[in-house]
Amino acid sequence: MPLTTSSANRLVADIGGTNTRLALFDPVAGELRSLSNYVNRDYGQPSDIIHIWLDALREPRPAACCLAVAAPPCGDQITMLNIDWSFSAREIAERFGFSTLRCINDFEANAHALPHLADNDLTTVQRGKRSGAAKLATIGAGTGLGGATLTRAAGAVSASASEPGHMGLAAATDVELELFRYLLKQHEEIYAELLLSGPGLQRLYQSLADIQGEDPPPLPPEVISARALTGQCELCALTLNTFCALLGSISGDYVLANGAYGGLYLAGGFLPNMLPFLQNSTFLQRFQNKGKMRDHLVEVPLYAITSPVTGLLGAAHAPL
């Protein structure tokens, strides 16, 4: 491990419920280097991953660090929701000699990344109107369902994390009404990430199968999506269509709740592969259909983020 340190560069991390990515951000070159991906289940805590990454680094160690973590906004002690990890930011700084360390929510990092995304990092879902509204929002499904907003004022930006995954969902079709009745026998409440997440997609698939009297083998989220995209499984197609519809509903609610009329950016690791399916689903209709606010939502620009390093980019540009 190099013993020298760099005061300019920073270690940036995107610590999700399933995977962790680390990289070195060089603000002079404006680039991410030494990017590595780790599967969380192979490690006991994030500090184990940081140790391995620093050991492999072949340039001066960064003195600064920004960790984007899939956890609610918090103080020194970080407790993650979708993996049994809890750690102290102060202890990590002391252990690895970081003079500056900041932990932010992973979607707060996504929000900080928005001004730095290139055109080829985005796919337009709804052109809308660039009204100059001061607030943007990002929402996305992964191990959970996260979200954040970015407010621009007087030349400065401020990101705020939130937890849309724990907002309530509302049924809007006969299929969804039957689905919700079925789920309410097992759950006290139908909250968003119960269905709008990787595990949620599996739950949605199994629930719809039970309702229809089918007994298919359990499938991982990526297989459900793949079979829906190829049209080889009607149940998978119904599952993904329902997923897209509910995602449209919660996305519209999220924009209205936050007044984020400047644009909504959809994030999530499996989103790029399902974009054509999402665009042909009722996602946009459900996003727009919010009663008297429909005309406002029609004008909100909607983008899908296709960059694989959004969280790292946000951790690179978040103020320390």
Cβ neighbours of residue 89 under 8 Å, at least 6 residues apart?
67, 76, 77, 78, 101, 102, 103
Return the pLDDT at 7. Answer: 67
Q: How far apart are CA 105 and CA 311, in angstroms?
A: 10
Q: How confident is the model at residue 1 (pLDDT cuts 50, 70, 90)?
A: very low
Maximum Cα interatomic distance, the chain, rounded to a whole number of Å: 64
Whether residue 4 is predicted with pLDDT greater than 90 in this model: the reply is no
CATH at 93: 3.30.420.40
pLDDT of residue 153: 84
Mean pLDDT of 250-277: 94
Q: What does the pLDDT read at residue 205?
A: 98
239: Cα within 13 Å, side-chain hemisphere? 36
Is a pLDDT exceeding 90 seen at residue 134?
Answer: no
Select the more confidently predicted residue: 269 or 108: 108
Average pLDDT over residues 179-200: 96
Residue 3 pLDDT exceeds 70: no
Q: What pLDDT score does 6 carry? A: 62
Round to whole Å and give the CA distance between 25 and 276: 33
Other Cβ atoms less than 10 A from the Cβ of 130: the count is: 10
Inform me whether the pLDDT recorded for 116 exceeds 50: yes
The answer on pLDDT for 100 being more than 50 is yes
Find the mean pLDDT for residues 259-272: 92
Nearest residue to 262 via CA among 135, 140, 149, 95: 135
Q: E-assigned strands of 43-199?
A: 61-69, 77-79, 86-88, 100-105, 122-126, 135-141, 145-153, 156-162
- Give the CA distances from residue 315 to residues 34, 111, 187, in Å, rounded to whole numbers and listed in that order: 15, 10, 36
Distance CA 99, CA 241 (A): 48
Tell me: the pLDDT tens digits for 229-259?
999 999 999 999 999 999 999 999 999 999 9
Q: Cβ atoms within 10 A of the Cβ of 304, count? A: 21
Can you name the residues that pair with 22 across neighbouring β-strands?
Answer: 13, 36
Residue 155 confidence class, pLDDT cut points 50, 70, 90: confident
161 in any annotated domain: no
What are the pLDDT digits (tens) for 206-231?
999 999 999 999 999 999 999 999 99
DSSP 294: H
Assigned domain for 33 exists: yes
% of the chain surpassing 90 pLDDT:
87
pLDDT at residue 74 tops 80: no
In a domain, 173, yes or no: no
Question: CB pairs under 8 A, 24+ apart, for 210-218?
Answer: 210/182, 211/178, 211/179, 211/182
- Provide Rg for the chain, Cα atoms: 20
Range of the domain at 37: 5-106+312-317
Sequence-distant (≥ 6) Cβ neighbours of residue 279 within 8 angstroms: 125
Does residue 229 form part of some domain? no
Split at pLDDT 50, 70, 90, the class of 8 is confident
- Using DSSP's 3-state secondary structure scheme, residue 183 falls into helix
Q: Return d(Cα 128, Cα 143) in angstroms, integer.
A: 29
Tokens of 80: 């993650």
Q: Does the CA dihedral 256-257-260-263 come out positive or negative?
A: negative
Q: What's the average model confidence in pLDDT over 70-85? A: 87
In a domain, 252, yes or no: no
pLDDT of residue 39: 97
Please indicate, yes or no, if residue 42 is contained in any of the structural domains: yes
Number of domains in the chain: 1
74 within domain boundaries: yes
Confirm whether 71 is domain-assigned.
yes
> What is the tens place of the pLDDT at every residue in 285-295?
999 999 999 99
Token pair 């083998």 is found at: 217
Residue 35 pLDDT more than 80? yes
Q: What Å distances lie between residue 259 and 2, 68, 106, 139, CA to CA?
A: 47, 24, 21, 14
Give the span between the Cα atoms of 50 and 46, in whole angstroms: 6
Distance CA 313, CA 203 (A): 32
Statement: residue 5 has pLDDT above 70: no
